[in-house]
Amino acid sequence: MKLLYPIILAALLLSCRPQPVRYTEYAPVLIERAELEKSIRLESARPIKNAGKIYRKDNLIFINEKYEGIHVYNNVDPTNPVALGFIRIPGNMDITIKNDIIYADNAVDLVTLRYSNSIIEILDRDRNTFPEMVAPDFGVVPAEYSPENRPKNTIIVKWEKI
């Protein structure tokens, strides 16, 4: 028993030493604030590559394309949904809809939109509502990409594997 206590104490002390810093295997894609604020637009339909959340509203289906925007489908015939368009929203990961208003994240901003008859209307933008995106592997953001060390007025809209 006398030997057991020193072994446990040594194990506890060794486990308390600082862990090595693990950097991310991803690099951020940056966009200037001014560009971010004019980046939302309706584009022609395109194939889904990296689907995220799905939202159904009346006869429409909205499918998030991670970091890119929202696919819009007419779902009057659920056996044959028709692609209507793609709402480009850089940095988009989530949406919700209340009444006819779409609430979406545009990187760090919250935007409210209205989609009607293949027309998108931007209603409002709340700046810096969300924290900046972290790398998918939850690694440490390298110092060169911290807000202090990257070009001024830039925002992370997604991460790409390096």
Is the pLDDT at 16 greater than 80, yes or no?
no
Query: In the predicted model, is pLDDT for residue 5 greater than 70?
Result: no
Q: What would the mean pLDDT of 67-78 be, rounded to a whole number?
A: 97
Q: In this structure, what token pair is assigned to residue 74? A: 């007419």
> Averaged over 139-150, what is the pLDDT?
80
Summarize pLDDT for 103-134 with one digit per residue, the tens.
999 999 999 999 988 899 999 999 999 998 88
The domain total for the chain is 1
Beta strands (DSSP E) in 8-153 are 26-32, 41-43, 51-57, 60-65, 69-74, 82-88, 95-98, 101-106, 109-116, 119-126
Please tell me the distance from the alpha carbon of residue 104 to that of residue 123, in angstroms, as a whole number.
Answer: 12
pLDDT of residue 162: 84
Provide the 3-class DSSP secondary structure of residue 114: strand
Beta bridge partners of 66: none
Gyration radius (Cα) of the chain, Å:
22
Domain extent at residue 96:
4-161
SS3 36: helix
pTM of the model: 0.83
Confidence check: pLDDT of 21 > 90: no
